[in-house]
Amino acid sequence: MSNFIQKYNIPGPRYTSYPTVPYWNEACFTVDSYKETLIRSFNESNASEGISLYIHLPFCESLCTFCACHKRITKKHAVEGPYIDAVIKEWNMYLELLGSKPRIREIHLGGGTPTFFSTENLTRLLRAIFDTSEIAPDHEFSFEGHPNNTRREHLETLYELGFRRVSFGVQDYDPVVQKAIHRIQPYENVFNVTDASRKIGYHSISHDLIFGLPFQTWKSMEATIKRTISLKPDRLAFYSYAHVPWLKGVGQRGFDENDLPSGEEKRALYENGKKLLEELGYVEIGMDHFALPTDELYQSMLNKKLHRNFMGYTSSSTQLMIGLGVSAISDSWYAFAQNEKVIEDYYARLEKNELPLYRGHILDQEDLIIRRHILNLMCLQSTRWDQPEQQFPELPQVVERLREMETDGLIKILPNGIDITEAGRTFSRNICMAFDLRMLREQPGTRIFSMTV
């Protein structure tokens, strides 16, 4: 395994979408064409499966320097009200465009720090959505909580509003690592919010851990995993630190490149961490994700209903996902569209009564075929092309690119498809890259992706 990790640990996308954002054809994107795909997708799917909402809440009181998300650092909570007003206005614009009441299947509150906002403002936002929608009986509502500022009031209020999943960013318990990444977060805070969530009734509690952070050693990583397991979260995300300083700058980070684990040390963190998680009862669900067998994400994997989108892995899927808030990305299946990334620009577009979009991509027929194959690989660990609608002219070249991975035991090439082996699950991103025609035709001149492991 170590030799394969060394061989295949190259820059590559995480494939929360295809095409990936750097390869969107922005020149051919228009807001009107996006609206057409949005209405088409809504009409095709709303009555049956409903739609998903991703709501980006960007404010944080402190900068975590490992983070590449779009955020605004401030301690001034007066920013909450105007932002909630803006998101509600954006939602109302979508309602007018869709023309009929949406059926909400999924909501995810991401950030930033959603629990930066008061319960009153979160309630006002969600009530504005609920009062204009139908809520699906099998809805799945989730939010990201910061252990340092998620109060019991947050947990109780969101539970009353239908939320049953919560994810807490833990990252690492070692004080040296925490200081370097500007994320001072005692174990006691994580214990308190996890314990409170369980007592209130949340049925899926997730913790995020990151390997490859500055000053991490296997000894400290092992201690973090064992402390995490003592709380027995239902799900775990075990992410590789995406060191992309060309995107996020150095900020307030208390480290430089020399403080990061070497390639060999980082590989050991991953291999040992994965082994320990599995020994302690967690099952690898997909790339970076683990769950207890009692969690619905595991059940979705067994039932081949696992889905992946900009929110990561989910246990249910919808054809249409609308992104609300600054930098949020919408996915109509036939198109992607991203909101303005600067809050002032986001507000300015809304003041002009315009959807606050600044870029996007309309998928052509080839994109749609490749997208399905990559989604199958990321979620089902296999894909097939026995039907004409699953085939594309460059398929023979894709198969040839996969031959070496078959020799290495990572996949099995079948007459009409491929299966990823148990050994190959770690290299799902690499396998998907063989299908990524847009990236292969336009190789980046500079590095734009994090390493695959």
Residues 182-194 pLDDT 10s: 899 999 999 999 9
Mean pLDDT of the chain: 91
| Model pLDDT, residue 450 | 61
* 137 three-class SS: strand
What's the one-letter identity of residue 36?
A: E
| Model pLDDT, residue 254 | 62
* 67 three-class SS: coil
Between 427 and 373, where is the model more confident?
A: 373
Region 53-73 average pLDDT: 88
Tokens representing residue 32 in the block:
């009107």
Q: Where are the alpha helices (DSSP H) in 232-364?
A: 245-248, 263-279, 296-302, 343-351
- Integer CA distances (angstroms), 91 to 52, 67, 110, 319, 332, in order: 13, 27, 16, 18, 16
DSSP state of 253: -
Between 179 and 7, where is the model more confident?
A: 179
417 exposed, middle or buried (CB, 10 Å; 0-12, 13-18, 19+)? middle
Whole-angstrom Cα distance, residue 242 to residue 453? 9
What's the one-letter identity of residue 440?
A: L
257 φ, ψ (degrees, to nearest 5):
-60, -30
Q: What percent of the chain has pLDDT over 70?
A: 94
Region 378-401 average pLDDT: 95
What's the pLDDT tens digit per position in 222-242? 999 999 999 999 999 998 887
171 exposed, middle or buried (CB, 10 Å; 0-12, 13-18, 19+)? buried
What's the pLDDT tens digit per position in 131-180? 999 999 999 999 999 999 999 999 999 999 999 999 999 999 999 999 99
Yes or no: say if 386 and 416 are a contact pair by the CB < 8 Å rule. yes
Q: What percent of the chain has pLDDT over 90?
A: 76
Confidence tier at 246 by pLDDT (50, 70, 90): very low
What's the pLDDT tens digit per position in 273-332? 999 999 999 999 888 899 999 999 998 988 888 888 887 788 878 999 999 999 999 999
